[in-house]
Amino acid sequence: MSRSIERFGRLLGRLAKGGRSALALAPAMALLCASTPVEARPARNVILFLGDAGGLPTLSAAGIYAHNRPQSLFIQSMPHIGLSDTSALNHWVTDSAAGMTAIVTGHKTNSGMNSVVPSVGGTGVTPVKTILEYAEQRGLSTGVITNMPIWDATPAACYAHVASRTDKDEIFRQLLAPRYGDGVDILIGKDRAAAEAAYAKMGTNAAQAFTRAGYLFSDDPLALTPETRRAAILRDEDFAPIPAVEATIASLSRNRKGYFLMVEWDMHTNKLQDGLRHAVEMDDMIRKVSASVGKDTLILFVADHSYDLKLLSGTRDRPLAEQLSAPQGSRPVIAADSKGAHAGEEVVAAAMGPGAEGVKGFFSNTWLFDVMMTAFGWKVS
């Protein structure tokens, strides 16, 4: 910007020396102003949409499955895209714990570890701060929504630091014993039974534990209103995603400092049509949210890892969903591993809003942490 101002000053100087009217150079000045970039403003809010196993093959098939044409998802129209490496520190093909840790902390770690890295010498682990914890530290509101168990690898990587993603008791303990701020403000996820079991070992139950911590505790996402400041919604049944996300954003938006929200939706296609449907559900979420949030919000979509799925055949004269149920010929329309095989190729990252220009080209999954931190205007501490 300073260079452009200098250029503008020199232009005016030449104008005065030549005795020419400023009006005569109005077109040139307009061109100069148009070519001068506006100073980037930090994002007030960041929403991270995480498609668990939502690799490019899944997104491609989901768009055709839902809309009967290629590249028909909203995600595929977002203005800034890049390709993210997903490898773990110790494996080329990551699990969700290491994959999400890289995204929310900027550090690669071993598969199975949540927001910790192996200590030097390999005798222990060291916690690494998450983007959600940075937000809590600075007084922003925070939320975690998932259609998976609330203790599972992806959501837990936002708020817990454990050497093993299966350590549910420690994950639930840390959920209500945050390192920074007062902990996640809005929680929506599954597996209330696991919460009850964990808190029973602590001499209480889930309702008492969350209520004492200042949460509205319920199993119904409809209990969440814009006036709700803190809520824990734990259930075992599926729930309508868009109303839950909209209610969460309405609540978090009351904080003038802003918010960080992570929304995970399972896209594993070991159950093929469930996975494709979930991909479409998340795409609809992003489409709806992008139309309602302000220009001060960075929206970022990425997958933690890809999945072993291939579109092998099919014709354009019948809906793909119909062909999945009644394929023609001996070759399957889609080959998907029913045993749950993660895949190691790059996944697409798509972004819009302040800071979205950082999503471009090929990059490590750890770069996405930098994108979010830069969007907020924060430095690592």
pLDDT tens sequence across 213-258: 999 999 999 999 989 999 999 998 999 999 999 999 999 999 999 9
If pLDDT is split at 50, 70 and 90, which confidence band does 8 have?
very low
Residue 234: alpha-carbon gap to chain centroid: 20
- Which one, of 262, 224, 229, 258, lies nearest residue 244 by Cα? 224
If pLDDT is split at 50, 70 and 90, which confidence band does 310 have?
very high
Which of 166-170, 312-316, 320-324 has maximum average pLDDT? 166-170
- Which one, of 231, 140, 233, lies nearest residue 186 by Cα? 231
Q: Which two tokens stand for residue 271?
A: 């159950």
* 311 pLDDT above the threshold of 70: yes
Interval 73-86: pLDDT, tens: 999 999 999 999 99
Mean pLDDT for 121-134 is: 93
* 327 pLDDT above the threshold of 90: no
Q: What is the pTM of this model?
A: 0.88
Mean pLDDT for 111-139 is: 94
- Give the model's pLDDT for residue 13: 52
User: How many residues belong to the chain?
Assistant: 381
Interval 91-110: pLDDT, tens: 999 999 999 999 999 999 99
% of residues, the chain, pLDDT over 90: 82
CA distance 145 to 227: 18
Q: Please provide residue 150's backbone torsions phi and psi, each rounded to the nearest 5 degrees.
A: -65, -20
User: Residue ranges of the domains in the chain?
Assistant: 2-35, 45-376
Residue 324 has a CB neighbour count (10 Å cut-off) of 17
- Give the model's pLDDT for residue 28: 47
- Which one, of 122, 119, 113, 115, lies nearest residue 95 by Cα? 113
If pLDDT is split at 50, 70 and 90, which confidence band does 197 have?
very high
CA distance 86 to 38: 33
Architecture of domain 45-376: 3-Layer(aba) Sandwich (3.40)
Contact (CB, 8 A) for 105 and 114? no
Could you give the dihedral angle defined by the CA atoms of residues 354, 355, 356 and 359, in that order, rounded to the nearest 10 degrees?
180
CA distance 66 to 275: 12
- Give the model's pLDDT for residue 15: 47
State the chain's mean pLDDT as an integer.
Answer: 90
- Give the model's pLDDT for residue 10: 53
Mean pLDDT for 260-281 is: 96
Cα angle: 35, vertex 39, 41; to 5 degrees:
140
Interval 11-70: pLDDT, tens: 455 544 444 444 444 544 444 444 434 446 799 999 999 999 999 999 999 999 999 999
Mean pLDDT for 324-332 is: 78
* 262 pLDDT above the threshold of 90: yes
